[in-house]
């Protein structure tokens, strides 16, 4: 066996979840399978411990896909990670380590080096695993980026991988998107595109079927299946922009009252997935919001992580959200800051690393000062909070440089972490609320502080089990709605010969396959 590239008509077309579903389907068949994304652009990342014992970052989606494969995450699963810090610059993470900050212009000169690392990582994985399921990025038809591409068709060409293209019918225009994606590829790229998958379909498949037949006739490629829209597929979002206003499917409360949580959707939000564990609890309604009125209406407000803490803090002030957050705290209601959000709650932030703006005032709601260091803290951590075991991971430049607050939690060796000042809480740990008992105790305290005395936590929610169930749902969808025999042939045998060319092809190309 070899592998497969899952490409998409757009970002958020369903590449990440389809890759995870195929991985779990293969894993259930006893195949030794691994995920791969040569280059990811996302501020949702996790810490993976490398072979040298040091922590490194990969995209959270690839960690989720590794779980689908039944294996531990590996830095090679996402060798290049771009973490946007502004509209024009990104931090470049190579095999887990931040190596530079680049703009779109000077990134071009770095591409050849990054591409070789990515190709080498894929070659190693293919030697170690029976199959590697690769996820593309954005769209392979981004013709301005094809030169030097190593994540979409450039990767498929180099590795000889067959590709399928997934399109999101929920957005409309899926047939035009599928046809146009193929028709803007040059002949050699088109020769690797073996079929299509339609995602998020709602309605009568019989009405859609004539369209499936027509796109097959127009392109010479089959539609390998139509995945239905499914409400249980929402954990581990690749991009915070994929979130709706309400996370997940809020289950009815176990007590008599709901707990309403507002998570501020910062412009450069990172690891917004932290809120998913809260949303998994019955009776907890979690909104992503940029509305001051929704902050005022919430019981618990969360400031999540940020890749641009100082800039996002300035945005909070410009939009009036900072006033809404401080008014919420002044009313005695609970407020939680995670990583960059924790730093925003401090007295001062001294940053000569990310924003390079020197010392700026924080919101002054926690008695700490933050200083950014040149070296990023990357660690998997364990400890105790609210007398319950808790694990998480850390990705931050900022550290507490002064102040001795009451800590929110303690490391396993007893060192303090985070801060508590009355009803205001802060921590640098991501993923902490996936620890079930800690999450329950924190929410119980938050409900008490908010006056929601009728809110009762569920004693049986297991976040890890919910994630496993979500992965199994994805595999079930693949098995029930896709032509798995065709997928199996592609993975085993590679792209079929004789796939037709669909004009016009990439601008300037000829119709000949080299």
Active site residues: 339, 430
Alpha carbon distances (Å) from 422 to 102, 408, 453: 41, 11, 18
**Is the link from the previous residue into 504 a cis peptide, with omega within 30 of 0?**
yes
CA distance 239 to 93: 17
Residues 6 or more apart whose Cβ sits within 8 Å of residue 98: 57, 91, 92, 376
Residues 6 or more apart whose Cβ sits within 8 Å of residue 398: 309, 340, 343, 349, 351, 370, 371, 372, 373, 428
CA distance 228 to 192: 26
CB 157 within 8 A of CB 191: no
Choose among 118, 110, 119, 120: nearest CA to 89: 110
CB 454 within 8 A of CB 256: yes
H helices present in 129-236, as ranges: 153-159, 174-183, 187-190, 205-219
Alpha carbon distances (Å) from 343 to 309, 333, 366, 396: 7, 19, 9, 10
CA distance 398 to 316: 19
Q: How far is CA 471 from the centre of its chain?
A: 15
Choose among 62, 61, 57: nearest CA to 97: 57
Structure tokens at 457: 């936590």
3-state SS assignment for residue 387: coil
336 strand-pairing partners: 302, 425
Residues 6 or more apart whose Cβ sits within 8 Å of residue 424: 329, 334, 335, 336, 337, 345, 365, 366
- Residue 181 class from Cβ within 10 Å (0-12 exposed, 13-18 middle, 19+ buried)? buried
For the four alpha carbons of 240, 360, 432 and 284, in that order, the dihedral sign comes to negative
CA distance 317 to 327: 13
CB 150 within 8 A of CB 119: yes
- Three-point CA angle 280, 282, 285, nearest 5°: 75
């Amino acid at each position: 066996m070899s592998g497969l590239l899952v490409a998409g008509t757009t970002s958020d077309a369903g590449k990440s979840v389809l890759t995870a579903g195929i991985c779990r389907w293969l894993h259930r068949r006893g195949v030794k399978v691994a995920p791969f994304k040569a280059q990811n652009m996302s501020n949702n990342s996790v810490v993976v411990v490398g072979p040298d014992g040091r922590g490194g970052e990969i995209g959270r989606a690839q960690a989720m896909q590794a779980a689908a494969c039944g294996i531990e995450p590996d830095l090679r699963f996402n060798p290049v990670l771009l973490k946007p810090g502004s509209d024009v610059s990104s931090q470049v993470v190579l095999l887990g380590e931040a190596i530079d900050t680049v703009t779109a212009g000077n990134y071009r000169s770095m591409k050849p080096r990054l591409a070789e690392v990515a190709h080498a990582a894929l070659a190693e994985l293919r030697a170690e695993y029976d199959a590697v399921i690769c996820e593309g990025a954005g769209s392979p038809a981004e013709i301005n980026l094809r030169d030097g591409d190593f994540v979409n068709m450039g990767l498929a060409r180099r590795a000889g991988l067959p590709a399928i293209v997934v399109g999101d019918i929920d957005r409309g225009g899926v047939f035009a998107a599928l046809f146009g994606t193929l028709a803007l590829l040059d002949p050699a790229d088109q020769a690797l595109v073996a079929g299509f998958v339609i995602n998020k379909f709602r309605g009568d498949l019989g009405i859609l079927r004539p369209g499936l037949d027509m796109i097959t006739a127009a392109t010479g490629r089959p539609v390998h299946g139509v995945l239905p829209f499914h409400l249980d597929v929402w954990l581990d979002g690749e991009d915070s922009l994929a979130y709706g206003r309400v996370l997940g499917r809020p289950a009815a409360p176990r007590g008599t009252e709901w707990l309403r949580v507002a998570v501020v959707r910062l412009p450069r939000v990172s690891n917004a997935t932290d809120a998913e564990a809260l949303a998994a609890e019955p009776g907890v309604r979690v909104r992503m919001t940029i509305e001051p009125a929704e902050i005022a209406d919430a019981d618990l407000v969360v400031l999540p992580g940020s890749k641009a803490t100082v800039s996002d803090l300035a945005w909070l002030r410009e939009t009036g959200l900072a006033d809404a957050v401080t008014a919420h705290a002044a009313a005695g209601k609970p407020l939680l800051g995670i990583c960059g959000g924790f730093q925003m709650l401090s007295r001062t932030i001294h940053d000569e690393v990310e924003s390079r703006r020197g010392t700026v005032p924080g919101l002054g709601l926690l008695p700490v000062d933050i200083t950014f260091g040149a070296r990023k803290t990357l660690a998997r951590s364990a400890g105790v909070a609210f007398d319950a075991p808790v694990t998480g991971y850390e990705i931050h430049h900022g550290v507490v440089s002064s102040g001795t607050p009451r800590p929110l939690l303690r490391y396993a060796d007893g060192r303090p972490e985070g801060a508590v000042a009355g009803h205001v809480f802060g921590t640098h740990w991501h993923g902490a609320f996936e620890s079930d008992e800690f999450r329950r105790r924190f929410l119980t305290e938050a409900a008490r502080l908010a006056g929601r005395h009728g809110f009762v936590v569920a004693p049986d929610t297991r976040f890890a089990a919910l994630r496993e169930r979500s992965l199994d749902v994805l595999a079930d969808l693949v098995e029930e709605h896709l032509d798995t025999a065709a997928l199996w042939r592609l993975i085993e045998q590679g792209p079929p010969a004789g796939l037709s060319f669909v004009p016009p092809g990439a601008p300037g190309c000829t119709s000949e396959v080299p």
